Amino acid sequence: MSLSSLSLFNFTAFSRLKMDFSPGLNVIIGENATGKSHLLKLAYVVAYVLHESRRTSDEAVGHLLAGSSKSWFQRRIAEKLVGVFRPDSLGRLCRRGIGRSRTEIFADFGPPGDLNFSFASNSQKDVVLLRSPANAPHDAPIFFPPKEVMSFYPGFASLYEQREIHIDETYYDLCKLLSVPLLRGKYASEIADIVKPLTEIMGGFVRVDSGRFYLHLRGQGKMEISLIAEGLRKVAALAYLAANGSLTNKGILFWDEPEANLNPKIITSLAKTLTELANKGVQVILATHSLFVMKELSLLVERSKKQIPARFFSLRLEEGGIALEEGELLEDLQTIVALDEVLSQDDREQSSILEEMQ
């Protein structure tokens, strides 16, 4: 399953927006307050609820029991939006304006069907379901938030379930996926080509012992995951999700700021893994501020002679809201704020050198 398109009306900073996604790699860029993280979270919510509906279905006959229950979809969409975005009330996700307003979301998942719902600015915890798909995906989507989770993994899921913790639900969902046991035998060998380059980045492999994660370093024994660099913990989590089968060729990987706490050398290797996943059928949707990440991913797509399906999106602030540009490569975009700032910095550096020479 992949997300074909996402249409928004009056959602947070967006007055109206439609994004047509590639089934492979999707890169969203833009300055702060352009809604990159909001887009990722919204897309994740709709994908998660669709997957969750399968767990309530009678798969033997292939019909969604939840799909026939309008109230189930309305309740779960609202709960997940609130859990992921953490607003005071659901209606706070409506775009700010004068008087009462209404938000509408339309998500197209291709053959599984469409999910269409709306809610008002005075909504507390309910949405109105306008359309639901006839089918649902097998595999759960994966969302990587900016901060890593492996260091606080032990006991976090049970604590989150029992206590009111004001941390968004993507961290809880990721911890649940990390609790899935590793694949073995032929199933493990099928994903070895994904796991191997990640273990090379880390210099070892990840395992669980007494509920805690450890990195087993070659020739050095094991090290507590909390003692390795924070950026490498994200790589470790990705490797473990590949090794336990959560990261498959039928799912969607969302990643907010993959560059956080990673140096360019590791980013180069990670970019290759992300493009390989996209080429194998995993839909990758990420948001980044890093010019290095943007250029590296675009370069890999270009070198593949565009065999890796990809789409690059640039969001920019305008008086009427958020505007969108898109293209198959980074160079197709007219607005790249990160590049503009690098060029501006170069100009300031040259001016400084000239002043010193005079």
Which one is predicted more confidently, 189 or 326?
326
Indicate left, alpha or beta for 209 from its phi (over 0: left) and psi (-120 to 50: alpha): beta
Evaluate whether residue 148 is within a structural domain: no
Q: For residue 7, give the amino acid letter.
A: S
- pLDDT tens across 205-264, in order? 999 998 899 999 988 889 999 999 988 999 999 999 999 888 877 789 999 999 988 888
**Containing H/E element for 263?**
none
pLDDT of residue 36: 92
Contact 13, 261 (CB under 8 A): no
Query: Domains in the chain: how many in total?
Result: 1
- In angstroms, what is the C-alpha Rg of the chain? 21
**DSSP-derived secondary structure for 5-54:** EEEEEEETTEEEEEEE--SSEEEEEE-TTS-HHHHHHHHHHHHHHHHHHH
User: Does the structure show a pLDDT above 60 at 178?
Assistant: yes
Q: What tokens appear for 96 in the block?
A: 């700010």
Q: Report if residue 209 sits inside a domain.
A: no
346 part of a folded domain: yes
C-alpha 328/C-alpha 306 separation (Å) is 8
Q: pLDDT tens for residues 120-137?
A: 999 988 899 998 887 777
Whether residue 328 lies inside any domain: the answer is yes
Amino acid identity of residue 276, one-letter, is E
**What percent of the chain is modeled with pLDDT above 70?**
89
- Which DSSP state fits 132? -
pLDDT at 287 over 70: yes
pLDDT in tens, 41-51: 999 999 999 98
Residue 338: pLDDT above 70?
no
Domain range for 287 is 5-60+67-139+249-357
Q: Is residue 216 assigned to a domain?
A: no
pTM over 0.85: yes
Contacts of 140 (CB under 8 A, 6+ apart): 48, 51, 173, 177, 246, 251
Q: Is residue 85 part of a domain?
A: yes
- Per-residue model confidence (pLDDT) at position 333: 84
Q: What is the mean pLDDT of the chain?
A: 86
Mean pLDDT value across residues 170-182: 93
Residue 16 β-bridge partners: 9
CATH number at residue 267: 3.40.50.300
More confident residue, 307 or 297: 297
State the pLDDT at residue 67.
45
Identify whether 39 is part of a domain: yes
Q: For residue 24, count CB atoms less than 10 angstroms from its CB and return exposed for 0-12, middle for 13-18, buried for 19 or more.
A: buried
Do 338 and 291 contact (CB within 8 A), yes or no?
yes
Task: Indicate whether 222 belongs to any domain.
Answer: no
State the SS3 of 135-194: CCCCCCCEEECCCCCHHHCCCHHHHHHHCCCCCCHHHHHHHHHHCCCCCCCHHHHHCHHH
